Amino acid sequence: MTAEPLPSAPGQPDLAHIRDWVFDLDNTLYPAECDLFAEIDARMTDFVARYLGVDAGAARRLQKRYYAEYGTTLKGLMTLHGMAPQAFLDHVHDIDLSPLPVDRSLRRALERLPGRRFVYTNGSRRHAERVTRQMGLQGVFDGLFGIEEGAFHPKPDPRSYAAFCAAFDVAPEEAIFFEDLERNLKPAREMGFATVLVRSDAQWTAGEPAAARPAGRSHGQSPCADYVTDSLADFLQAVCPDP
């Protein structure tokens, strides 16, 4: 698809240069209030306890330590314990997706965007496929990039972003990156992406609180974000309104 420049109006984000739209998955593409990640989080604790033969409390502490030090619990298990990743990915993403909405307004907003659209997640490709299908977003995206495609280097590891850009021939200076975690926005911004922090009143279970912020330019609210919004669909609607 050939991208046409977006018009810029007062109060609208100035994104006329954007050719590629890159979206994190969990708590970004769908609202954090769905609390889907709580189930993933609990299944990670269960897997760590069984894999390492420790009780739930010790497993929880290790899970959070590996997340903090390695970017994901999975990467910590692979690095420190030589774990093969597939069983972990299959277990933690075997979750009930019924809390996810079929989001027709988001689909319409995504379809109006000029250029290409991608999902880029620290989860598995299968998880991305299941979530987008459940939300009625199948066929909207030009590519799904899971942790497998990044050679299991998770965001915010710079190698992950480089692998994503190489896989889809993305030029960061002509792309925008949507995320719910500020630490994952930092490398993207340093590479030249425009960045959007998608925030929520919900408390994220990995220990990083989220707080609602109005849509629009961040005005210093986040050093890693050019824009901050509490509604992805509303932000995209402002960028490319209904005809």
Give the pLDDT confidence of 111-153 residue by residue, as tens digits: 999 999 999 999 999 999 999 999 999 999 999 999 999 999 9
HSE-up (13 A, CA, CB side) for residue 42? 7
Residue 209 DSSP label: B
Instruction: Determine which of 44-53, 104-113, 207-216 has the lowest per-residue pLDDT on average.
Output: 207-216
Give the pLDDT confidence of 180-192 residue by residue, as tens digits: 999 999 999 999 9
How wide is the angle at C-alpha 89 spanned by C-alphas 129 and 29, nearest 5°?
A: 40
Mean pLDDT of 63-82: 96
DSSP reduced 3-state for 73: helix
In this structure, are residues 154 and 147 in contact, taking their beta carbons and an 8 Å threshold? yes
Map tokens 């190698």 to a residue. 159
Convert 126-170 into a string of H (helix), E (strand) and C (coil): HHHHHHHHHCCCCCCCCEEECCCCCCCCCCCCHHHHHHHHHHHCC
In this prediction, residue 12 has a pLDDT band, given cuts at 50, 70 and 90, of: low
Give the pLDDT confidence of 151-173 residue by residue, as tens digits: 999 999 999 999 999 999 999 99
- Whether 240 shows a pLDDT value over 50: the answer reads yes
- Whether 241 shows a pLDDT value over 90: the answer reads no
Question: What is the pLDDT, as a whole number, of residue 37?
Answer: 86
In this structure, are residues 164 and 158 in contact, taking their beta carbons and an 8 Å threshold? no
In this prediction, residue 221 has a pLDDT band, given cuts at 50, 70 and 90, of: low
